[in-house]
Amino acid sequence: MTPRSLSIVVAALSAALAFGFAGADGAGQDGDWRSYGRDPGGQRFSTLAEIDRGNVGRLRRAWTYHTGDLDVRPGVSQPFAFESTPLAVDGIVYVSTPSGRVIALDGDTGREVWAFDPPARTMGRVVARGPHRGVSYWETSDRADRRILYGTPDGRLVALDARTGLLRPEFGSGGMVDLRPGVADDWPRAQFEVSSPPAIYRDLVITGSHLQEYPALGPRGDVRAYDVRSGALVWQFHTVPRPGERGHDTWEGEGWKDRSGVNVWSVMSVDAERGLVFLPIGSATYDFYGGDRKGANLFANALVALDAATGAVRWHFQTVHHDLWDYDLPAQPALVTVRRDGRDVAAVAQVSKSGFVFVLDRATGQPLFPVEERPVPASTVPGEASSPTQPIPRRPPPLVRQSITRDQLSTVTPESNRACTELFDSARTGPLFTPPGLTLTLTFPGTLGGATWSGTAFDPVRRRLYVNVNEVGALGGLQPLGPNAPLPYRRAGSGGEYARFWDDNRWPCQQPPWGTLNAIDLDEGTIAWTVPLGVVDALVERGLPPTGTPSLGGAIATVGGLVFIAGTNDARLRAFDADTGRELWADRLEASGHATPMTYRGRSGRQIVVIAAGGGGYLSRTTSDVVAAYALPAP
């Protein structure tokens, strides 16, 4: 036997032993993190109490794992962030990378148990890369069959044996289902990716897709359910309704035909008891001009509840009509409980880029706080037909500023003030939902503002929703295109199509805070506390108080009274007091953790907190390939 063969046998035996003894020595389902949001409803709440407010200051790095997956492509100025939230089952940690690799680690030591590298879709081509937020786990009731299911950055649905990391050959074709047929047949070169873990309902795996932003026509954003064992298609939901289907009348003429976008690129939630799957649906393409898609455009920018077994629509709630701002629903809906008239009501909380929080009855979709249709500014762009009103919830209050004036510009340094004043004076401004114009328009919040895919954490004990938000505007104007272009206009500006309202240091142009962590009392619809999240070290050295920073990557809550969060572009993982918002602990990471942490109980019985610290993406220039684990010192 060669040394390599021996190492493979030893690794396989170690993996089998790890699974065989899991549960007997401390790990178990109560200590697991089995879904992206820990539970299928995305609460991100852990009942583990070993780490609490009294001892969190003693947390130390327990282990570090390097994935070896760094984005080093020539000429890449913005490498993909490492956005994965790992799962933990029976003391084994499962993490995915931007190239679609999946790695199983011993949760106590960080030792690699197995790794799966997806083959290239086409022989001779490099493996695709993209944002990738994690994998899903499924098992039979007797636990004889355990699977990891996930989508790849090149649009395939994969089923792996959770014990070995080997493809399950009976699933699809050799363990994979090609997701392009049926939605992208006419667009062989168009973008079609999967960036978030699929939802699991009984024996179904339900997936969305990550599609192009431009041009307007292309692959469809249909949501589909597959048999978890065979990979056979079970149902398909048309996110852009076809003739005769509910919502089709919200698309004038043929605006629905071949429409791209209207996709679920973020994370879905499942209410197994009610048999519902909740879809946070994105914008219709093109994001900033809709003259070719007049109407309200269902089901774009809508939270849609489907019958999870059949894909039939139970209800929908549209948060933006005829979107012109890229205000798609970016985050997993949180299934929560709200107190109303002395009784508990099952609800769903949906955060948005505009800074609003919509709290709806989970069974009916009716708002639990009043939502008003208010008049908004009209578009001045020829051919455009913006919506005359938009839905505005009265409670909770907006989590970010929704407009900006010249006297609110940043003064953190004279240089920043000069640069930001020049930007501000070059653009037209207006209130929330001011449509983009033919001249440079400042939109506040912008495409990276408000709540992002970072999402929320819900503490059912304190009945609070924890949300990190960005105070970041966007700059752009619609530029006329040539007669042979797909559309008459496309957004542009000196900083590009998705330019941010920040200076050369990427410091936002308005007065701080630039990013906050918020606790929302969902019973009352009020904000319990707000604190700046993150620091700019260069400004702290000048004596300025913490400004907060933009963040991508969300929070988790624990029964120990803690809120853990990284996300910020200052390369730190933090723990906050869930009751007061006071920062109790922080540690520097190798790069910013643009991901959501999770916590689990290892086979040793210790509670461990893990974060993917990869930097990169929209916010950070430093990159890494680190998975970092923290625990209290061993006895």
Rg (C-alpha) for the chain, rounded Å, is: 23
Tokens of 624: 């890494």
Residues 425-434 have a mean pLDDT of 96
Mean confidence (pLDDT) of the chain: 94
Closest CA to 460 of 346, 623, 631: 346
Tokens of 381: 């762009």
What is the pLDDT, as a whole number, of residue 356? 98
Handedness of CA 620, 623, 628, 633 (dihedral sign): negative
Closest CA to 615 of 588, 595, 597: 595
What is the pLDDT, as a whole number, of residue 124? 57
- Does 19 have pLDDT greater than 90? no
Could you list the beta-strand ranges (E) of 352-387.
357-361, 371-375
What is the pLDDT, as a whole number, of residue 28? 55
Tokens of 462: 């304190």
The H or E element containing residue 336 is: strand 334-340
Active site residue: 71, 108, 326, 328, which one?
326
What is the pLDDT, as a whole number, of residue 621? 87
**In DSSP terms, which residues pair with 351 in a beta bridge?**
357
Could you list the beta-strand ranges (E) of 341-488.
343-351, 357-361, 371-375, 389-393, 441-443, 456-459, 464-470, 474-480
- 8 pLDDT band, cuts 50/70/90, is very low
**What single-letter amino acid sits at 20?**
G
The mean-pLDDT minimum among 85-99, 119-133, 340-354 falls in 119-133
**What is the distance between the alpha carbons of residues 61 and 21, in angstroms, rounded to a whole number?**
25
Which tens digits make up the pLDDT trace of 310-337? 999 999 999 999 999 999 999 999 999 9
- Does 502 have pLDDT greater than 60? yes
- Does 75 have pLDDT greater than 90? no
Number of H helices, E strands in the chain: 3, 40
Which tens digits make up the pLDDT trace of 616-630? 999 998 999 999 999
Closest CA to 360 of 298, 296, 328, 316: 316
The H or E element containing residue 10 is: helix 3-21
Residues 33-37 have a mean pLDDT of 98
What is the pLDDT, as a whole number, of residue 165? 98
Tokens of 246: 């509910």
- The better pLDDT of the pair 534, 21 is held by 534
Residues 566-582 have a mean pLDDT of 98
**What is the distance between the alpha carbons of residues 26 and 530, in angstroms, rounded to a whole number?**
37
What is the pLDDT, as a whole number, of residue 188? 94
- Does 16 have pLDDT greater than 50? no
What is the pLDDT, as a whole number, of residue 635? 78
Rounded to the nearest 10°, the torsion over CA 167, 169, 171, 177 is: 70
Contact 104, 94 (CB under 8 A): yes
Contact 281, 264 (CB under 8 A): yes
The verdict on whether omega for the bond into residue 237 sits within 30 degrees of 0, i.e. cis, is no
Tokens 């760094």 locate to 70
**What single-letter amino acid sits at 62?**
A
Q: What is the CA angle 60-63-68, rounded to 5? A: 135
How far, in Å, are 36, 290, 590, 611 from residue 87 at the CA level?
A: 7, 40, 21, 11
Q: Does 459 participate in catalysis according to the annotation?
A: no
CA 501 from centroid of its chain's CA atoms: 22
Percent pLDDT > 90 in the chain is 90
pTM given for the model: 0.95
- 92 pLDDT band, cuts 50/70/90, is very high
- The three-state secondary structure class of 13 is helix
Which tens digits make up the pLDDT trace of 267-323? 999 999 999 999 999 999 999 999 999 999 999 999 999 999 999 999 999 999 999
What is the pLDDT, as a whole number, of residue 381? 97
Strand order in the sheet with 313-318: 269-271, 276-280, 302-307, 313-318
Give the DSSP letter of residue 119: P
Closest CA to 302 of 232, 219, 358: 358
Tokens 């962030």 locate to 81
- Does 9 have pLDDT greater than 50? no
Which tens digits make up the pLDDT trace of 183-211? 999 999 999 999 999 999 999 999 999 99
